[in-house]
Amino acid sequence: MKAVIITTFTLMLAGITAKSQVAIGKQSVANTSVSLEFGNTENRGFILPYITDKTGITVEGSIIYDTTDHKVKYLKSSGVWVNLSEDDSTAATIGAADLSIQGLDKTEKATAKTAIGVNGATDTTDGILVLTDADKAMILPQVASPHINIINPASGMMAYDTVKKQLAIYNGTVWSFWKP
């Protein structure tokens, strides 16, 4: 009996730690350089975390939807947030987030986290979703013309536009497009 329990526990542990690549909406990732990949069969995007207080976020490269000014931002360096939303300083470009989408109108566990990668089980980086592999990327949902085909986008949604070959970000009112 003891051997069965040890074998079962060992198999469960191996299954949890061995899976360092995750595919959502498809059977597998495209190649070994991917940590997280989304299927592209439906017109849906990836919704960023809605953040009401970004003072505790210190990891460079973090991407958020800032509910204080309704903009998608990334942390470039210590305390310097860069706006990724289209913004001409008019009220028309500022969206209003429906905080119930991500449960911010309810009490949630502050330490809730999912880590994907080789070091996922031991990673201590703050974040809701942390990709821990230093040699793998995340592939966003791929949508042809997301500004046309995503009928009811949520504030903070991101997708890769397969027609324009660029990043598409929705701030609650307008789509912004980014390419190199």
| 73 neighbors 84 (Cβ within 8 angstroms) | yes
Q: Which amino acid is at 20?
A: S
Backbone torsions φ then ψ of 79, nearest 5 degrees: 80, 0
Mean pLDDT of the chain: 75
Residue 149 has pLDDT above 90, yes or no: yes
Q: Which residue has the higher pLDDT, 74 or 116?
A: 74
Could you tell me whether strands 157-161 and 142-143 are parallel, antiparallel, or unpaired per DSSP bridges? parallel
Buried b (16+ CB within 10 A) or exposed e, 26-59: eeebeeeebbbbbebeebbbbbbbbbeebeebee
State mean pLDDT over 53-67: 87
Least confident piece of the model among 100-104, 141-145, 149-153, 157-161: 100-104
Q: How sure is the predictor about 146, in pLDDT bands with cuts at 50, 70 and 90?
A: very high
pLDDT of residue 161: 92
Q: Which residue has the higher pLDDT, 1 or 77?
A: 77
pLDDT of residue 111: 67
Residues 6+ apart with CB under 8 A from 10: none
pLDDT of residue 89: 53
Distance CA 122, CA 20 (A): 13
State mean pLDDT over 6-15: 40
The pair of structure tokens assigned to 49 is 């975390």
Q: How sure is the predictor about 81, in pLDDT bands with cuts at 50, 70 and 90?
A: very high
Q: Which residue has the higher pLDDT, 40 or 169?
A: 169
Residue 179 has pLDDT above 90, yes or no: no
State mean pLDDT over 115-141: 77
Distance CA 155, CA 126 (A): 22
State mean pLDDT over 103-113: 58
Q: How sure is the predictor about 13, in pLDDT bands with cuts at 50, 70 and 90?
A: very low
